[in-house]
């Protein structure tokens, strides 16, 4: 397991910490592999009753590590074979409660991961965004279904199409979070909710979650999204977007068609 993912099991709560604060917890494929392993552990070990995701430092996650991501795209092969999709499959299969503690930036997978969490605590000044189209990509993690279900088509489309962030207070008002609190209180509030969930009847709570979500449908959609995502990764649009990102300029899609 990479040093950038830390796990700790205490009184039924498995806390998974994104621990790459110097990069705003941008996620590499090695980190995805570790996240998949931790999520599978949570699902299969009776000692784990709740999974809690948090980020070290001032951000939850800046999303994919772009350099690592570009390297993945240049390797060829199916995107759905990559560690990121092993993690997504583990999220689709997870039938135990998941909680997230979100401070600072939650970008891309940093936002779509929250759609698989059953309770979310955000800082009031957190900034959540899903700038897939800004990078000429497509939604992932079944977010093309889960985000419109949570907040409505128009709001979800704006988040995808414009890529502009919403703050934690807005996330609460729109139904993406259970609590919006001061940044200094996020970890404590999330840990308290996780601890409460860990005391509930475990089989009852798992059956309740299974009834509330269709794991097979989620995974089927994740694979469809992966095909769209993979085809976009090698497109001229994406090459321009990645180049613009590395050069710190706005992409020019005027010749795209």
Residue 218 falls inside a structural domain: no
Q: Can you give the pTM of this predicted structure?
A: 0.95
Residues spanned by the domain of 149:
5-185+199-203
Token digits of residue 78: 């199916």
- pLDDT band at residue 158, thresholds of 50, 70 and 90? very high
- pLDDT band at residue 233, thresholds of 50, 70 and 90? confident
Q: Tokens 């990559």: give the residue.
A: 82
Residue 230 falls inside a structural domain: no
- What's 179's domain CATH number? 3.90.226.10
Domain count, the chain: 1
Q: Residue 197 pLDDT > 60, yes or no?
A: yes
Residue 149 falls inside a structural domain: yes
Residue 238 falls inside a structural domain: no
Residue 181 falls inside a structural domain: yes
- pLDDT band at residue 81, thresholds of 50, 70 and 90? confident
Residue 216 falls inside a structural domain: no
Whole-angstrom distance, CA of residue 102 vs CA of residue 6: 16
Cβ atoms < 10 Å from Cβ of 239: 15
Whole-angstrom distance, CA of residue 51 vs CA of residue 60: 16
The per-residue pLDDT for range 1-36, each reduced to its tens digit, is 589 999 999 999 999 999 999 999 999 999 999 999
The per-residue pLDDT for range 62-76, each reduced to its tens digit, is 999 988 877 776 665
Residue 221 falls inside a structural domain: no
Contact 39, 94 (CB under 8 A): yes
Burial 1-30 (b: 16+ CB within 10 A, else e): ebebbbbeeeebbbbbbbbbeeebbbbbbb
Contact 213, 156 (CB under 8 A): no
Contacts of 204 (CB under 8 A, 6+ apart): none
pLDDT of residue 71: 76
Contacts of 117 (CB under 8 A, 6+ apart): 53, 98, 99, 100
Residue 245 falls inside a structural domain: no
């Amino acid at each position: 397991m990479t040093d950038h993912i830390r796990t700790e099991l205490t009184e039924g709560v498995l806390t998974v910490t994104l621990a790459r604060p110097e990069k705003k917890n941008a996620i590499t494929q090695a980190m995805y592999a570790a996240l998949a392993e931790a999520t599978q552990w949570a699902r299969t070990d009776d000692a784990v009753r709740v999974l809690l995701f948090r980020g070290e430092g001032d951000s939850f996650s800046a999303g994919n590590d772009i350099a690592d991501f570009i390297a993945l795209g240049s390797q060829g092969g199916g995107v759905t074979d990559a560690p990121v999709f092993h993690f997504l499959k583990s999220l689709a299969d997870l039938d135990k409660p998941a909680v997230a503690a979100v401070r600072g930036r939650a970008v891309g997978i940093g936002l779509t991961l929250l759609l698989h969490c059953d309770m979310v605590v955000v800082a009031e000044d957190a900034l959540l965004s899903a700038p897939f189209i800004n990078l000429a990509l497509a939604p992932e993690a079944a977010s093309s279904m889960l985000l419109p279900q949570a907040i409505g088509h128009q709001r979800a489309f704006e988040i995808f199409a414009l890529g502009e962030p919403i703050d934690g207070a807005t996330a609460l008002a729109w139904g993406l979070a259970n609590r919006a609190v001061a940044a200094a209180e996020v970890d404590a509030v999330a840990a308290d909710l996780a601890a409460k969930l860990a005391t509930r009847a475990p089989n009852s709570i798992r059956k309740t979650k299974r009834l509330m979500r269709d794991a097979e449908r989620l995974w089927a959609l994740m694979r469809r999204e992966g095909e769209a995502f993979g085809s976009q990764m090698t497109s001229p649009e994406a090459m321009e977007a990645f180049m613009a990102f590395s050069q710190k300029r706005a992409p020019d899609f005027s010749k795209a068609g």
